[in-house]
Amino acid sequence: MPVFQYVAFDDAGDTKQGIIDATTAREAREKLRSRKLFVTEMEAVKKGRANKKKETKRSGRSGMGRVPDSEPDAAGAFTGAAFAIKRFRVRGARQELVGVTRLLATLLKAGINLVDGITSVIQQVNDKHLDGVLRQVREDLKGGVSFGDSLAQHPELFDALYVNMVRAGEASGALDDVLSRLAGFLQAQSKMKNRVSAALAYPMIMCVMGGGVVAFLLAFVVPKIVKVVLKKGGNLPVPTKILITIQDLFLGWWWLALIIVILVWLAYMAYVSTEKGAMARDTYKLKIPIVGDLFRKQSVSRFAHTFATLLRSGVQATDCLKILANIVDNRLLGKTLADVRERILEGTDISTPLKKSKIFPPVVGDMIAIGEESGQLEELLERIAETYDEEVEITTQKATSLIEPLIIVAMAFVVGFIVLAIVLPLVDGFNF
């Protein structure tokens, strides 16, 4: 059997080298891809040379990285926490994906074929993982695999929305327009996410800084003052006794508290990894005071944006709802969309089951009904998206304007209690 020498990237972006037995170069690439290695170079080697390299590898004298002969059956499965970790590790590649998509669309519109366009894009990519994936996609295209099917093999980068829009663009012969629309959609979603994150960052920083100040007081300031107070004796005020108890617990049992926090977090993550737990979490998210309304409007905005983008790309409405049910960031919303799809398959329209759901505001169902009747569903969905984009921005500002005073009041209460517990002994006659 022929032997091939290869250079590839693994999931972490590290370079791997080795040799592999395969009938053809394409089969060799498929074997390596099943091991989550993304080939950048490959060449056939003579049998004698290959045997020498194999012996060198066994003796441990080779500089090439060893590639296992086999992986567990679940090695290619992206599920639960493992998939979340995978997406986190390639966050740099995902951030660069918008520019890559837009550049590829521009190249295709200029008349450059897809393989050459990807070759040009690879030269502009900075992220190692994305570079390796694009090289693998290019090799797949040369081997006769469709663009959409090749992208589907990398779900950590290309979700169902991306893949199905590409497939629709390939089928309609308007891949350049679809990629351009997709790049605009990804950029708009990124801007909205960053806007919300930036607005909520200040309250989070205040919480962290406030917690740090309290921890510093309990660990370094309060113990010194408590020693002086205890030396004087006498009856201590109740706030002072409470503060001493809290300080003793903090200094003596912080490790136990840390263990409990970690165990609770692990139990929570295990629970929400189940369907029931994820549903309960996402249902509660929509009911949280102040920010629950923000989460709801953000989900509706993304739903409208995505639905309109898919429809304009030539994807059928039932397929759109199936994709949306799988990619939305809220399980309750996903279940609602799956139910809507079932009702449509039974012969009803889109707006009726949306109106009956408690997730979507009634105005969304009314506007979709008008769009269905007028044949302008995409335009109405885009108007809904624009409206709720503005609502998200307004609600974000309202939420931060309410959260910040609450944090300030809470921190003032905690620090004030510490000061009161320290000052009361002075008022009761302690002399320092």
CATH assignment at residue 13? 3.10.20
Tell me if residue 396 falls in helix, strand or coil.
helix
Is 80 domain-assigned?
no
Q: Which of 174, 416, 131 is nearest to 314 (CA)?
A: 174
Q: Does residue 75 belong to any structural domain of this protein?
A: no
Tell me, yes or no, whether 72 lies in a domain.
Answer: no
124 and 144 co-located in one domain: yes
- Same domain, residue pair 282 and 406: yes
User: For 274-325, what is each residue's pLDDT tens digit?
Assistant: 888 888 998 898 888 878 888 888 888 888 888 888 888 788 888 888 888 8
Arithmetic mean of pLDDT, 10-19: 69
pLDDT at res. 55:
39
- How many angstroms separate the Cα of 186 from the Cα of each of 100, 158, 323? 11, 11, 16
Domain count, the chain: 3
- Report whether 179 contacts 105 (CB < 8 A): yes
Token pair in block for residue 128? 């190692």
Same domain, 407 and 323: yes
Average pLDDT over residues 45-73: 40
Residues in contact with 411: Cβ distance below 8 Å, sequence separation at least 6, in sequence order? 206, 210, 213
Closest CA to 427 of 225, 236, 247: 236
The Cα-based distances of 368 to 35, 189, 220, 250 in angstroms read: 45, 21, 61, 56
Alpha-carbon span 307 to 287, nearest angstrom: 25
**How confident is the model at residue 319, as a pLDDT?**
85
Whether residue 200 is predicted with pLDDT greater than 60 in this model: the reply is yes
Cβ distance 344 to 318 under 8 Å?
Answer: yes
Measure the N-to-C terminal CA separation of the chain; round to a whole number of Å.
89
**What's the pLDDT band for 212 if we cut at 50, 70, 90?**
confident
Residues 260 and 375 in one domain: yes
- Do residue 183 and residue 214 come from a single domain? no
For residues 149 and 41, membership in a common domain is answered with no
Which of the listed residues 12, 46, 61 is the one where a domain comes to its end? 61
pLDDT over 80 at 375, yes or no: yes
Same domain, 165 and 302: no
Residue whose pair of structure tokens reads 């002075």 in the numeric block: 426
Q: Is residue 90 part of a domain?
A: yes
Share of the chain above pLDDT 90, in %: 6
309 in a domain, yes or no? Answer: yes
311: helix, strand or coil: helix
Residue 412 in domain: yes
Q: Are residues 241 and 137 in the same domain?
A: no
User: Which pLDDT belongs to residue 264?
Assistant: 95
389 within some domain: yes
pLDDT tens-digit map of 148-190: 889 988 888 888 888 888 888 887 788 888 888 888 888 887 8
Determine the pLDDT at residue 82.
Answer: 52
**Cα–chain-centroid distance for residue 8?**
26
Shared domain for 380 and 316, answered yes or no, is: yes
Reported as a single tens digit per residue, the pLDDT across 41-54 is: 777 765 444 444 44
* Cα–Cα distance measured from residue 274 to residue 277, given in angstroms and rounded to the nearest whole number: 5
CATH number at residue 172: 1.20.81.30
Strand ordering across the sheet containing 3-9: 15-21, 3-9, 38-45
Residues 320 and 400 in one domain: yes
- The answer to whether the beta carbons of residues 204 and 348 sit under 8 Å apart is no
DSSP secondary-structure letter at 348?
-
Domain presence at residue 230: yes
Closest CA to 157 of 96, 71, 114: 96
Lowest average pLDDT, out of 186-190, 227-231, 398-402, goes to 227-231
Res. 234 pLDDT band, cuts 50 70 90? low
Q: Residue 261: how many CB atoms within 10 A of its CB?
A: 10
Residue with tokens 């979340």: 84
**285 contacts: CB under 8 Å, gap ≥ 6:** 292, 295, 330
Range of the domain at 156: 86-187
